[in-house]
Amino acid sequence: MKTFTDEELKDMLRKHYQWLNNEAGGVRADLSGSDLRGSNLSGSDLRGSNLSGSDLRDSNLRDSDLRGSNLSIKYLKSLTQVVPEEGQYIAWKKINNNCICKLRIPTKSPRMTSVSSRKSRCKFATVLNIWDSEGNEIKEGFTDCRGPKTVYKVGRRVTADKWDNNILNESSHGIHHFITRSEAEKW
């Protein structure tokens, strides 16, 4: 496997940025077959880069743009999957006015985790509890930060308006959630 020093990697990303902008000296990033374990690639514009066969374990890809990159999605998913691939699980979501919603994601609900963060999404879920910002249980809340207003009612199923299972799209269609309550509260 190819290896890079931090400086070599920064230089390659700089040249890739120049390539994306059709600037002189720009070269498409070819990181194929590279050992990138533990690399900090956060915020990198890696559109169109070649990452096939690279080892990205423990790499920070948060807020990186990987559109059009050549990579193995199955391999990447195995590195970033936070939610269980099968079975039901409990998840947490922040909704309007800093309310926290506890969800049960059923076995049959499609689910995925983005490659760039621990934020996950599913197609449908059951609302178990909702707490307001003071910690009091409430019966319903909503979210309207993106797309249509979605109502969350305790005991009811909530379903996404559409479903996008592309792990490269962090902010796309689905019921966004986290595995831990603390992650949802910080969001």
Instruction: Kindly report, residue by residue over 34-68, the tens digit of the pLDDT.
Output: 888 888 888 899 999 998 888 887 788 888 888 88
- pLDDT band at residue 115 using 50, 70 and 90 as cut-offs: confident
Distance between CA atoms of 138 and 131, rounded to whole angstroms? 6
Average pLDDT of the segment spanning 145-167: 85
Cβ neighbours of residue 53 closer than 8 Å, sequence gap 6 or more: 32, 33, 72
- pLDDT band at residue 148 using 50, 70 and 90 as cut-offs: low
Note the pLDDT of residue 69: 86
Note the pLDDT of residue 8: 92
| 110 closest CA partner among 180, 149, 170, 164 | 164
Whether the CB-CB separation of 103 and 177 falls below 8 Å is answered with yes
Note the pLDDT of residue 119: 86
Whether the CB-CB separation of 128 and 152 falls below 8 Å is answered with no
Note the pLDDT of residue 27: 95
- pTM assigned to the model: 0.63
Domains in the chain: boundaries: 1-80, 89-186
Distance between CA atoms of 170 and 173, rounded to whole angstroms? 9
- pLDDT band at residue 147 using 50, 70 and 90 as cut-offs: low
- pLDDT band at residue 78 using 50, 70 and 90 as cut-offs: low
